[in-house]
Amino acid sequence: DADVTQTPRNRITKTGKRIMLECSQTKGHDRMYWYRQDPGLGLRLIYYSFDVKDINKGEISDGYSVSRQAQAKFSLSLESAIPNQTALYFCATSDYGWSQDYGYTFGSGTRLTVV
């Protein structure tokens, strides 16, 4: 099994619908992140969580919410999806502080299309 698992892998939804993207990890990391990737813009941080009770907004949090259900689970919700939220979404995890062995561990991504 992958260290960081995102579900679904692909999703098409209609404008105005609520949708949840899920992320679970087996790394045992405290810190989890949601990024979105758009062509030419790289990855931009939506929300991040340093532990179950610590959730923070990133640079583009408007229109999104998150839930940290457990150390291993971090979900991203679009309350009312709009077409410009069409993107590739990545979940990532990291250990406390900067590990000398690796930075982030990424999931394989969720490709979301809002029509």
- Contact code string over 56-85 relative to another protein, x by CB under 8 A: --x---------------------------
Residue 94 lies near another protein (rule: CB under 8 A): yes
Q: Report in angstroms the alpha-carbon separations of 35 from 10, 20, 90.
A: 16, 14, 5
Q: Which is nearer to another protein, 38 or 79 (CB)?
A: 38
Contact positions with another protein (CB under 8 A) in 25-54: 31, 33, 35, 40-45, 48, 50
The answer to whether residues 12 and 81 touch, using CB atoms and an 8 Å cutoff, is: no
DSSP secondary structure letters along 1-63: --SEEEE-SEEEE-TT--EEEEEEESS--SEEEEEEEETTTEEEEEEEEEETTEEEE-TT-TT
Taking the complex as a whole, how short is the minimal distance between the CB of residue 39 and another protein, in angstroms?
8
Q: Which is nearer to another protein, 56 or 80 (CB)?
A: 56
Cβ atoms within 10 Å, residue 10: 10
Applying CB under 8 A, the residues found at the interface with another protein are 4, 31, 33, 35, 40-45, 48, 50, 58, 90, 92, 94, 97-98, 100, 102-104, 106-109
